[in-house]
Amino acid sequence: MNPRRVAFDVLRQVTGEDAYANLVLSKRLATAGLDTRDAGLVTELVSGTCRLMGTYDRVIEAASGRALSTLQPAVVDLLRLGAHQLLGMRMKKYAAVTSTVDLARATVGQRVTGLVNAIMRKLSAHDLDGWLDVLAAGADPLDELAIRGHHPRWIVEAYADVLPAEELPAALAANNVAPHPTLVVRPGLAKVQELRGATPARFSPFGATAEGAPSEQTAVRQGRAGVQDEGSQLVAWALSHTAAPEGPWLDLCAGPGGKASLLAGLARQQGTWLLASELQEHRTRLVAQSLGAYPDGTVTVVADGTKPAWGRAFSRVMADVPCSGLGALRRRPESRWRRSPEDVTALGSLQRELLRKAIASTVPRGVVAYVTCSPHRAETVEVVNDVLAEHPGATRLHAPDMLPDVPDAALGDDIQLWPHRHGTDAMYLALLSVE
Tell me, yes or no, if 373 is annotated catalytic: yes
131/142 Cα distance (integer angstroms): 18
Give long-range contacts, CB 8 A cutoff, 24+ apart: 205-210: 205/237, 206/233, 206/237, 206/262, 207/182, 207/183, 207/233, 208/182, 208/183, 208/184, 209/180, 209/181, 209/182, 209/183, 210/183
Rg (CA), the chain: 23
Q: Coil, strand, or helix at residue 171?
A: helix
Q: Which amino acid is at 327?
A: G
**Closest of 199, 234, 226 to residue 399, by C-alpha:** 234
Instruction: Please check whether residue 266 is in contact with residue 291, taking contact to mean a CB–CB distance below 8 angstroms.
Output: no
For 286, other C-beta atoms within 10 Å of its C-beta total: 18
229/208 Cα distance (integer angstroms): 10
Q: Residue length, the chain?
A: 435
DSSP structure string for 391-416: -TTEEE--GGGG-TTSTT-EETTEEE
- Residue of 50, 253, 323, 373 marked catalytic: 373
CA dihedral 81, 83, 88, 90 (to 10 degrees): 110
**Closest of 280, 277, 276 to residue 267, by C-alpha:** 276
Q: Coil, strand, or helix at residue 117?
A: helix
Instruction: Work out the burial of residue 51: count CB atoms within 10 Å of its CB; fewer than 13 is exposed, 13-18 middle, 19 or more buried.
Output: buried
Bridge partners of 113, per DSSP, are none
78/62 Cα distance (integer angstroms): 16
Instruction: Please check whether residue 220 is in contact with residue 269, taking contact to mean a CB–CB distance below 8 angstroms.
Output: no
Task: Give the Cα-Cα-Cα angle 42, 44, 47 (nearest 5 degrees).
Answer: 100
Half-sphere exposure of 40 (CA within 13 A, CB side): 5
Q: Which amino acid is at 212?
A: G
DSSP assignment letter at 368: E
Active site (catalytic) residues: 373
